[in-house]
Amino acid sequence: MTHPDGHAMATLRKSLSADSLSATTSHETVLHGLGMRRPLDLAVAVVTAHPDDETIGLGGVMAHLRNLTLLQLTDGAPLDPAAAAGAGFPNRQAYAAARRGEIVDALAVLVEGRLSRQVFYEVPDGRLADHLAGVVERLVEDLICVDAVLTHPYEGGHFDHDAAAFAVQEACTRLARLGGHVPARLEFTSYHRVGGRLRTGRFLDDPCAPEVVVPLTPEAARRKEAAFACHRSQTGNLGLFGFGPERFRAAPIYDFSRPPPGSEVMYGVEVWRGLSRAFAAATQS
């Protein structure tokens, strides 16, 4: 496994901070716009690991994104047939189809179908780490077309979330190396564990990454609640998430060769080690 040393991290920082003036402007514009709940004309991509992550992370503000691209990395159906059976579906394909239907319904509520682009990468749920090379290359193609990208933080909550955070950072690094446009990289919240307790709707504390906190208006809360209801197969999981403020921040530059700082890895250290090897293999030197 290759661990980026100090020099490698410095190189990474340099390439990502080459994020051009436009990316810096986009960071500020997007965060300010979300904070003020103003309509945003910038092209914004939301990269999520699973159908329903978008509702959890930014269901209250999605309606303000007037040029929204949704890149859905997994189909939400694990390869293990027991997962489909447990959710009441005869097989994985039926489960994946149901989850796609659910997100279509949820988006109808959240943005009234006003989506510029929606792309399903169709990786099986839980297997994003096995497909990172292809996912990163596709993200390079898709993210060059947007001004900003919002995705999961690296926080040890779910391995697909962490893989998504890696894939976006790696794609942006490659774009930076190509010397052209790099979208501003931002984050929405998912979940993690601190002090033995599950925490939702918050980022791991990072004083270097100031957050924008957006309380839900009654209308936004109503939309979000209605969208939660659309994810019919996930009712149990979604019960963990409330309708508190949504939080956003510029994405830090993560060192994916180390566990997320300040968090307990919920999926276990052994799984994280495997994930870390996948990150190393997919990192372009």
Q: Is 199 helix (H, G, I), strand (E, B) or coil?
A: strand
For 190-245, the DSSP string reads -EEEETTEEEES-PPP-TTS-EEEEPPPHHHHHHHHHHHHH-GGGHHHHTT--S--
Q: Per DSSP, what are the bridge partners of residue 184? A: 148
| 67 is an interface residue for another protein by CB under 8 A | yes
Supply the minimum distance, in Å, between the C-beta of residue 179 and another protein.
5
Largest pairwise CA distance in the chain: 51
CA distance 76 to 79: 10
Residues 156-185 that bind another protein (CB under 8 A): 175, 178-181
How is residue 189 annotated by DSSP? -
Is residue 118 within the footprint of another protein (CB under 8 A)? yes
Note whether 219 binds another protein by CB under 8 A. no
Work out which of 85, 145, 240, 269 binds another protein, going by CB under 8 A: 145
DSSP secondary-structure letter at 132?
A: H
Q: Does 43 contact another protein by CB under 8 A? A: yes
Q: How far is the CB of 199 from another protein (least distance, A)?
A: 34
Nearer to another protein, 86 or 134 (CB): 134
In the list 115, 136, 227, 265, the residue contacting another protein (rule: CB under 8 A) is: 115
What residues have CB less than 8 Å from 29, skipping those under 6 apart?
Answer: 40, 42, 148
Please, which residue, 69 or 276, has the CB nearer to another protein? 69
User: CB of residue 34 vs another protein: minimum separation in angstroms?
Assistant: 17
Read off the tokens for 203: 């980022």
Which stretches of the chain bind another protein, using CB under 8 A?
22, 41-43, 66-67, 69, 113, 115-120, 140-142, 144-145, 147, 175, 178-181
